Structure 1
Amino acid sequence: MTKIYKICDESFWRAAESFGVFSGSADDLRDGFIHFSTAAQARETAAKHFAGRSGLLLIAFEAEALGLELRWEPSRGGALFPHLHRALNPEEALWSEPLPLGPDGAHVFPPGMI
């Protein structure tokens, strides 16, 4: 099983849980797909796109369970990133955990994840 991760504002995710669908963040909607990161990419994603932001969740998914609409496409420096080309049912998540800021201003990831 390949785990992939979505970093998301907690308020957006809680709303998606209430409605039963997550269509993505403003960036996802602009780009036409839902952005994910691998465990190896998640810290850089957090630092680049969510620097200094609190109120975030780290949400884990099983890549294979998302079906053919999940595509591995080149992004930063040609690295392949998982992109989901459909809306997401929040029940597809394996788990979600807070992604707080540490004293150094960097996000603190769950133990053992990275």
Structure 2
Amino acid sequence: MHAIYKICPASAWREAERQGVFRGSPDDIRDGFIHFSTAAQVAETADKHFFGQSGLFLIAVDADALGKALRWERSRNDELFPHLYGELDLGAVIRIFDLHTRSDGSHDIPELEP
């Protein structure tokens, strides 16, 4: 198994749990795919897109369970990022972490499986 990660407001994730599927954030919907990060990319993603935000979850997902809808595409720093073209089946979720916000606006990133 190989994990990828999604940072998501807790309120949006709770709504996804009620609906049984995650369709993405407003940015994901605008871009046409759900943005994910690898373990090595999470900290920079948190700083770049979520700095100062609280009430966030970090969702660990089994990339192997996503099939052909998951594509690896070049993005920030010319690195390959996982992009899901479609809805996220909650059955692929491995773990949900609370992403704690520090007083300086950065986040405590848990130790993650690559």
TM-score normalised by length of structure 2: 0.94
Question: What is the alpha-carbon distance in structure 2 between the residues aligned to residue 109 and residue 60 of structure 1?
Answer: 12
User: Once the two structures are superposed, what CA deviation does each residue of 1:35-86 show, in whole Å capped at 9, x if it has no partner?
Assistant: 0000000000000000100000000011111111000000012110000000
1:64 is aligned to 64
- Which residue in 1 is equivalent to 2:74? 74
Q: Which has the higher strand share?
A: 2
Residue of structure 2 equivalent to 1:108: 108
Q: Distance in 1 between matches of 2:17 and 2:105?
A: 28
- The list of structure 1 runs, each at least 4 consecutive aligned residues, that deviate by more than 2 angstroms after superposition, is none
Query: 5+ unaligned residues in a row in structure 1: which ranges?
Result: none
Q: Which blocks of at least 5 consecutive residues in structure 2 are unaligned?
A: none
Check the 8 A contact 2:6/2:60 in 1, yes or no.
yes
Is the Cα contact below 8 Å between 2:52 and 2:104 reproduced in 1?
A: no
Corresponding residue pairs, total = 113
